[in-house]
């Protein structure tokens, strides 16, 4: 369970990282839209886990590796934006948010089930 402080800090990080990716994202991944879907912060606010979603990109693992390779640069830019609001700039860990893929997979399964013939109830 996250505290209000963690949630508020996560919101600040999400908003500022979104602005950074909107302006600088083309330098990291051309022709790819990077969306921050969720940010989780540890209780000591020293580590932020950022979940990303990539649109117009076929290989999300490669995109994630590209973002991870630029993580120190992204952290520096984040620090420049939030330096007056926090004591310590958190370390950043990036993950792929695959909930969209999961929802799509589940929709296909439900669609397949609904197309199958229903067996009459025998009671």
Per residue in 12-37, pLDDT (tens digit) is 999 999 999 999 888 888 888 899 99
Q: What is the pLDDT of residue 96?
A: 92
Q: Which residues contact 52 (CB under 8 A, 6 or more apart)?
A: 34, 35, 36, 37, 63, 64, 67, 94, 95, 96, 97
**4-98 CATH:** 3.30.300.20
Provide the 8-state DSSP code for 85: T
Domain limits of the chain? 4-98
Does the pLDDT at position 78 exceed 90?
Answer: yes
């Amino acid at each position: 369970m996250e505290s209000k402080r963690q949630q508020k800090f996560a919101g600040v990080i999400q908003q500022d990282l979104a602005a950074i990716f909107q302006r600088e994202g083309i330098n990291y991944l051309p022709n790819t839209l990077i969306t921050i879907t969720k940010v989780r912060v540890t209780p000591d606010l020293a580590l932020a886990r950022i979940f990303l979603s990539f649109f117009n990109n076929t290989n999300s693992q490669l995109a994630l590796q590209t973002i991870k390779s630029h993580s120190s640069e992204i952290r520096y830019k984040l620090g420049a934006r939030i330096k007056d609001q926090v004591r310590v700039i958190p370390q950043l860990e990036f993950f792929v948010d695959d909930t969209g893929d999961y929802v799509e997979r589940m929709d296909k399964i439900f669609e397949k089930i609904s197309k199958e013939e229903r067996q009459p109830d025998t009671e």
